[in-house]
Amino acid sequence: MALMIVFVSLNTQAQHPGYTQLTDLTKFKQQFAEVAQKTNSIKSDFTQEKSLSMLSDKITSKGKFWYHKPDMLRMEYSQPFSYLMILNKDNVYIKDGQKENKVSTRSNKVFKQINKIVVDCIQGTALNSGDFKSAVYESKGNYLVALSPINKQLSEFFKTIEITIDKKDYSVSTIQMLESSGDSTTLHFTNKEINATIPDALFAIK
């Protein structure tokens, strides 16, 4: 039994160096939910790192991120290219250079699932989703929420989703999505402004 405990401890450390697993999630869930409930908007810069199994170098992009409760989100990439994505309830607007596209998440299940994941992570409701098995770890300054899809459709796209949460204010610092293909996408949020005034026009889809 002692050997088993040591093995589990070593395995946990190997998976998430510097973190130890929380066994009682009650307090964390309560505090995370309380902060998320008081969070009506978020404005921040972001850096996205995309790792493709066929490429040795990461593809790095930068831009601005806006979120407004309950389900409005805008990601505007500025480097190294211009790309805009707006989520407004059930509608998604994408502008890639001169190309514009409007998609309804009701008719596109992939968009619906991916956008739901991002919003759930920001709102703090991902832990209560029946689509994932979750585990929570902590270090000195952060919590790490590891989500493993149990929904068949999601597991076809994602192997794991890991969310790093700042202990100071329970805000999301990073979201890392590891795809079943071996590719991964990591979003780093910086210069966060919680409950900043954000005009509705930013989320308008014409």
State the DSSP string of 73-132. Answer: EEEEEEESS-EEEEEETTEEEEEETTEEEEEETTT-HHHHHHHHHHHHHHHT-GGG-TTE
Q: Which two tokens stand for residue 7?
A: 């093995």
**Nearest residue to 50 (alpha-carbon basis) of 173, 171, 179, 144:** 179
Which pLDDT score is estimated for 144? 93
**Nearest residue to 64 (alpha-carbon basis) of 202, 169, 162:** 202
Tally the C-alpha atoms within 13 A of residue 119's C-alpha that lie toward its C-beta: 19
DSSP 8-state code for residue 16: S
94 burial (CB, 10 Å; 0-12 / 13-18 / 19+) is middle
Which pLDDT score is estimated for 6? 33
Q: Is 84 within 8 Å of 94 (Cβ atoms)? A: yes
Handedness of CA 193, 194, 196, 200 (dihedral sign): positive
Strand partners of residue 134:
147
Domains and CATH numbers, the chain: 21-53+60-198 (2.50.20.10)
Record the pTM.
Answer: 0.81
pLDDT by residue, tens only, the chain of 206 residues: 333 333 333 333 346 888 999 888 888 888 888 888 888 899 999 999 988 877 777 889 999 999 998 888 899 999 998 999 898 888 888 898 888 888 887 776 666 666 677 777 777 677 777 778 888 999 999 999 888 888 777 777 788 888 899 998 888 899 888 888 888 889 999 999 999 999 999 998 87
**62 three-state secondary structure:** strand
